[in-house]
Amino acid sequence: MRDREKAKKRAKELVGRMTLEEKASQLRYDAPAIPRLDIPAYNWWNEGLHGVARGGTATSFPQAIGMAAAFHRELVEEMGRIVAAEGRAKYNSSRALEDRDIYKGLTFWSPNVNIFRDPRWGRGHETYGEDPYLTGELGKAYVNGLQGDGEYMTAAACAKHFAVHSGPEAVRHSFDARVSQKDLYETYLPAFEKLVKEAGVEAVMGAYNRTNGEPCCGSKTLMQDILRGKWGFQGHYVSDCWAVRDFHTNHMVTDTAEESAALALKSGCDLNCGNTYLHMLKACQEGLVTEEEITEAAERLFTTRFLLGMFDETEFDGIGFDRLECPEHVQTAERAAAESVVLLKNNGILPLAKESLKAIGVIGPNADSRAALVGNYHGTSSRYITVLEGIQDLAGEQVRIYYSEGCHLFREKVEFLAQRQDRISEAVAVAKNSDVVILCLGLDETLEGEEGDTGNSYASGDKADLLLPKVQRELAEAVIGTGRPVVVLNMTGSAMDLRYMQDNADAVMQVWYPGARGGKTVAELLFGDISPSGKLPVTFYNSAEELPDFEDYSMKGRTYRYFQGKPLYPFGYGLTYGNVSVEEVVCGGNSFRQGEGGVLEMDVREAVKVTVRAVNRSLTGTGEVIQIYVKDLDSPFAQPNAKLCAFSRIFLDGNESREVELVIPGEAFTVVNEDGETVEGGEHFLISAGLGQPDRRTAELTGKECVVFTILKRTVGTEK
């Protein structure tokens, strides 16, 4: 294991040889060289959300929300290892050519472990969904994969954006997210805490907004009291880009750039992505900060560089250019795409039988779109395979493939001089001449994403509602109106209003942004070479009218844990081509089956082990996700609905039965009170084991019930 104390000692010695000016210069993301100390220039800014991003060719994975839909820790950890290896390959080759530019370092500003609390948020697809437990587990897996467990870190991960940050994008530079202590500690902080305390994440990035009045990159509460105080964080803290400037230009908590730099540094922000720390020397001269505070930040940053082996020979120096987008890495990305796609509806039309089809119509603005494959914060692929291309390649010469763009992604027409909806008649003709239609709708990073990066909602990236663009809704009605069988592929990074598709299409798939070659995998899913097995990491509501105000950060009425209505598609839901069910659960030596119930007295202070037997009563092999939920039946502080507390991805061959052991952590039986304190829960806990939530909508959509039993908390010191 790596020796942080040794790295800290080396950093202290090196920084001790610097002048004040040199130390201050190293607190910028674009840190200059210090030739007299043999310190090369280093740009801290690199991205690796779902593959090495913005730095040239690299393996392209599904967007983070798609990775979350796989519910697969090991897969996310493997993605982290691949990002680290390809990052090292790029770093090694760039360094050899003295190229120290942006996006070529070893400090990756990923993962994004904010909670996707509202589907209107444009950046939600960068996250692992709406659930704190799932987000924490997958975030931890990514950090473990990226940083490795050797003497040196392969690369450094960064948990962002700390904290209480999930829109609106348009006002993020001035917005104050007001949140109760209960919601703060129950929903918004747990994933960050897990990454710090269990994964040893090397960096944390602050958010743009204020939280309860304090700017996140200058918050004593978040940075000193919680992050370094309660959690014992040892790494470095970086501002979001130009967030410190917001202190005096938008939040108005300071008057000058010098005051903003001082507030950030004194609160614990070591590294400035932006240019406000250019004023640090003047801030020091004015007595706003001390040289000791500048020194401490520099030492933390050089500790990270020593932990990465930047001044040593390491085992990673031999990682060569041939690792970039190598066959093994591409294969893993394809597997990730296969596990990420969620089958939402299937009336039996899928999988498609090639031998019985003469013509397939592929229609829609995302059918042949590369942008719809990659999401945002993406790298470059040496090859892109769109859905259209994937179907063309796999269908074979005996099946005719007709194609129509159908409509623009959001504009009223494709050709400038044409009339409105100039492609819709072609789409109808394609449908009428096809045995089945694959209708590819959705968004891309130009319509949902980060403020300043997108063209939607005055460049905010958020959605005004959950509807697809009007031209796409009209296209869907026209194509489905032909009476031909229609399979809808929704390529978005967020939950949409798909009620019309659910009511009128023959099948619906949530494809997300599946990666640069995702069209190949989507075709394999359509034709049954692979069974879909993804599960929703977010709730699909019927419309935005069911949601609280976007700027309201209370969890009441939000996400599957607090929503009181009937969702269109629930969190944790997803169909397969198999017929899998959970038939038995063994816990504490007792066996429970579907429809039987039962009560078990146990000590729940420690982890509870359960053994789940799943059976596939079909000939089709498929992946599945076993899910365990717990509901506190007594505590006044309990969430209103059951919460996810354990999950495991498995594969079952046709007619196979398997037993899987899962562990419910002890904290699943605790609650968070109004003061934000974690305390013991009630006496009775309803445990549900199945392939989704224990809610009526999931049962209605799947025709499957969970195995349910009750744990009675044993009083400490009493015998069973």
Indicate which residues carry an active-site annotation: 240
DSSP annotation of 227: I
What is the C-alpha to C-alpha distance for residues 51 and 379, in angstroms, rounded to an integer?
A: 7
What is the C-alpha to C-alpha distance for residues 608 and 611, in angstroms, rounded to an integer?
A: 10
Sign of CA dihedral 475, 480, 482, 486: positive
Q: Say if CB 56 and CB 48 are below 8 A apart.
A: no
Alpha helices, H only, 167-279: 181-183, 190-197, 246-249, 257-267
What is the C-alpha to C-alpha distance for residues 231 and 244, in angstroms, rounded to an integer?
A: 24
3-state secondary structure of 205: strand
Using a 10 angstrom Cβ sphere, with 0-12 exposed, 13-18 middle and 19 or more buried, the burial of residue 247 is buried
* Residue carrying structure tokens 């209103």: 640
For residue 431, give the amino acid letter.
A
Q: Say if CB 362 and CB 538 are below 8 A apart.
A: no
- Please tell me the total number of residues recorded for the chain in this structure: 720
Range list of β-strands (E), 347-485: 359-363, 400-404, 436-442
Nearest to 438 by CA among 532, 517, 381, 368: 368
Range list of β-strands (E), 511-621: 580-587, 590-593, 599-602, 608-616
What is the C-alpha to C-alpha distance for residues 692 and 476, in angstroms, rounded to an integer?
A: 29
What is the C-alpha to C-alpha distance for residues 599 and 491, in angstroms, rounded to an integer?
A: 44
Nearest to 103 by CA among 273, 271, 311, 256: 273
Q: Say if CB 683 and CB 693 are below 8 A apart.
A: no
Specify the DSSP element, H or E, that contains 504: helix 499-504
Q: Phi and psi dihedrals of 47, rounded to 5? A: -125, 140
What is the C-alpha to C-alpha distance for residues 230 and 1, in angstroms, rounded to an integer?
A: 24
DSSP annotation of 186: I
Residues 6+ apart with CB under 8 A from 556: 548, 562
Question: Within 10 A of 130 (CB to CB), how many other CB atoms are there?
Answer: 28
Nearest to 510 by CA among 294, 674, 339, 667: 339
What is the C-alpha to C-alpha distance for residues 202 and 156, in angstroms, rounded to an integer?
A: 6
Question: Within 10 A of 176 (CB to CB), how many other CB atoms are there?
Answer: 17
Sign of CA dihedral 280, 162, 77, 447: negative
Point out which residues pair with 362 in neighbouring strands: 403, 438
DSSP annotation of 544: G
What is the C-alpha to C-alpha distance for residues 387 and 369, in angstroms, rounded to an integer?
A: 8
Q: Phi and psi dihedrals of 333, rounded to 5? A: -65, -35
Four-point Cα dihedral 75, 76, 78, 79, nearest 10: 120
